[in-house]
Structure 1
Amino acid sequence: MLNFDPVHYIDVESGAAALAAPIRAAIGERLAAGATNIFFAGSGGVAFLALPAARLLQTSSTFPTFTEMGAELIVQGNVNLGAGSIVIAPSVSGTTKEAIATLEYAQSKGATVITLTGTAGTPLAEKADINLQNDCADDTSSENYLLQTLLIALSIMDARGEIADYDRIVAELSTLPELLVAAKEQFDPRAAELAQEMAEEQNHIITSAGGSWFEAAYYGMCILEEMQWIWTRPVHASDFFHGTLELVEEDTSVILLKGEGETRELTDRVEAFVPTVSKKLRIIDSKNFELAGISDDVRALISPIVFAAVLERLSAHLEVVRDHPLTTRRYYRRVSY
């Protein structure tokens, strides 16, 4: 596969899966000490990667769960943030200014900050109350953080007796790295075709629902916009028919991520409508990937992870056909703002 090292990839994602026990211990300790709520408070694109786990807790657990943009939390505050709070702060670099400021603000309120870092020896790793470390970079970070934060949510539900089969689910998750490589291999030819189709297109709508919606939003903002300078409109599938459908014309590109689980019917509606107008509906369906040994309930949980894995293949081909390296920036970390 183009610009892909499967051995390295499996090593990184296996490292994320191996954090299941440390995560369970850290979360269990905080809950035993009387933790009253959890905040997922990231900065930038990596913040999206924690939101499927937050959504899982909000829909399947009674443990109070909050999501915050770190910079906004600092200037606006939240009355629920305090000594009983667990704050989850993911970061690949461990040096993002907003993330460091969020960590310091949360600690000033008495919260326990758990950082998930992709780089050792960084401010976010060293300033944290608890640091969970797994080396990763942009091309492996999405799956890494989606998996780690899912393990955090599962640990909370397990400790509170809100899930009966934690061990079985985690055992299945431990097999994911190799399965994701297989999914990448399956999708790679289609990724190459899509990259050719999209090479000269400058406008897209990307949509999904459930936990997969956050991966759609992430891919639109952080990859197509930031890394390829392509105008992209992420919209939740449930909102597609509340405004965005008026933008659909014969040549409108709509990228639809169809995940699994209860919210799939929301993406079914988009799939039914768009072809009545546009000739450019691009569907990526997680059901099309075998994922041998993964139960249906776990497949629903990991749809965002599957999309992150296969969309990396699209990114790899896009940078080649567009002659635009994914690392090229005009402003980010290049100018003051």
Structure 2
Amino acid sequence: MLGFNEPEFLSQLASAVALRPRIEELVDRLVDDGFDNLFLVGAGGTYAQMWPYEHLARRTSTLDVRAVIAAELVVSGDRRLGEKSVAIFTSVSGTTDDSLRAIEYCKARGVLTIGFTGYPESPIAEAVDVALISEPKTWPFDMQMLLFMGRLLSRRGEFDGYERFAAEFEGIPGILLEVARQAEPVAAAFAEAHKDTDYHFLIGGGNLWGFTYLYSMCILEEMQWLRTTRVHSAEFFHGSLELLEEDTSVIIFQGEDETRPLTDRAAAFAKRVSKDVTVFDTRDYPLEGISPEFRGLLAPLVLDTVMDRVSKHLERVRDHSLQLRRYYRVMDY
């Protein structure tokens, strides 16, 4: 597979899954001690990666869980943030400035701070109250967040079958390796067909809305300098549909939760207008060893793996490195 280091891929994912005992121990302590609310704090891609877990809590729990932008939290605050709050931060590098400032802001208000990163001596790992370390560059953080939220909801009596889910989840490195292998020809074909496309329209919903936002902004815009529009499938018919034309590249991310009909509706309309609609659907991937009732939870992980293959092939056909930046961490701002 193009630009794919299989041993590293498996090792990184396994390192995240191996955090299960520490995550469960932490969650059990939090529940036993008691807390009022949970803040999922991020910046850019790590903010978008929190949305599925706010969405999960909103659907299944009475606990106050909210995803917030680190920089906005610092300047606008939140009246519910206090000594009975818990805040989770994620950072691949452990150096994200906005998140560091948000950690300081939270700790000054007595909030218990938790950090997931791959570098034990990084500023974020050293700043939080509890640091849970995977291998360097491990991405995405959905493994850790699924285990954290699954255990939390289970302890609250809001997730039946967590132990079975967590046991099946141990196989996720191998499962996602097979996803990557299956996605490789699809990714190569998409990239070849779109090597000269300079604008993409992205649609997603439910627990894939965060990934839709992330892939649009953090990959196509930041890493490939392509123009995009991103819209939630439930909001598609309230304005953004007017941008569609016959040759508009429409990328649709389809998952397996209860919002699937909303995305199906948007896809059906898009296909009536555009001749260039691509649907990336998690149903296309077997996910051997995962029970049907848990598949929907894994949608962000599955599509992150699929679209990583697309990204590598876009990098190749467009001769535009995914590491190239003009402004991000290049200029002061």
1:47 paired to 2:43: no
Q: Which sections of structure 2, spanning at least 5 residues, go unmatched?
A: none
In terms of mean alpha carbon deviation, does 303-312 or 148-157 score higher?
Answer: 148-157
Q: Say which SS state the counterpart of residue 320 (structure 2) adopts.
A: coil
TM-score (norm 2): 0.98
Given the alignment of the two structures, is residue 251 of structure 1 paired with residue 247 of structure 2, yes or no?
A: yes
> 139, 163, 171: which one pairs with 1:141?
139
Structure 1 contact 209–267 (Cα < 8 Å) conserved? yes
Counterpart of 1:183, as a letter, is V
| Structure 1 stretches lacking a partner, 5+ long | none
2:163 to 163, 167, 178: 167
Distance of 1:31 and 1:251 partners within structure 2:
52
Contact kept? 2:42, 2:68, Cα under 8 Å: yes
1:1-337 superposed matches below 5 A: 1-137=1-137, 140-142=138-140, 145-337=141-333
Structure 1 counterpart SS, 2:229: strand
Contact persistence 1:41–1:89 (CA under 8 A): yes
Displacement, 1:200? 0.9
Q: Which amino acid aligns with 2:269?
A: F
Structure 1 residue runs of 4+, over 2 Å off?
none
Identity %: 39
Q: Which amino acid aligns with 1:53?
A: Y
Contact 1:250 1:278 in 2 (8 A): yes
SS in 1 for 2:120: coil
RMSD: 1.0
Instruction: Please report how far the alpha carbon of residue 118 of structure 1 lies from its aligned counterpart in structure 2 after TM superposition.
Output: 2.2
SS in structure 2 of the partner of residue 74 of structure 1: helix
For residue 150 of structure 1, report the CA deviation from its aligned partner.
1.4
Separation (CA, whole Å) in 2 of partners of 1:276 and 1:44: 33
What is the identity, as a one-letter code, of the residue corresponding to 2:238? H
Please tell me the residue identity of whatever aligns with 2:88: I
**What is the letter of the counterpart of residue 181 of structure 1?**
L
Provide the C-alpha distance between the structure 2 equivalents of 1:28 and 1:318, rounded to a whole number of angstroms.
43
Q: Are the equivalent residues in 1 in contact too, given 2:195–2:314 (CA < 8 A)?
A: yes
Deviation, 1:84, is 0.7
How many aligned residue pairs are there? Answer: 333
Check the 8 A contact 2:254/2:263 in 1, yes or no. Answer: yes
Give the conservation status (yes or no) of the 8 Å contact 2:47–2:67: no
Write the deviation string for residues 80-127 of structure 1: whole angstroms up to 9, x where unpaired. 100011100000111111110000000001000000112221010011
- Residue 16 of structure 1 deviates from its aligned partner by 1.0
Letter in 1 for 2:33: A
Rounded to whole Å, the distance in 2 between the matches of 1:85 and 1:20 is 22
CA contact (8 A) 2:207 2:257 kept: no
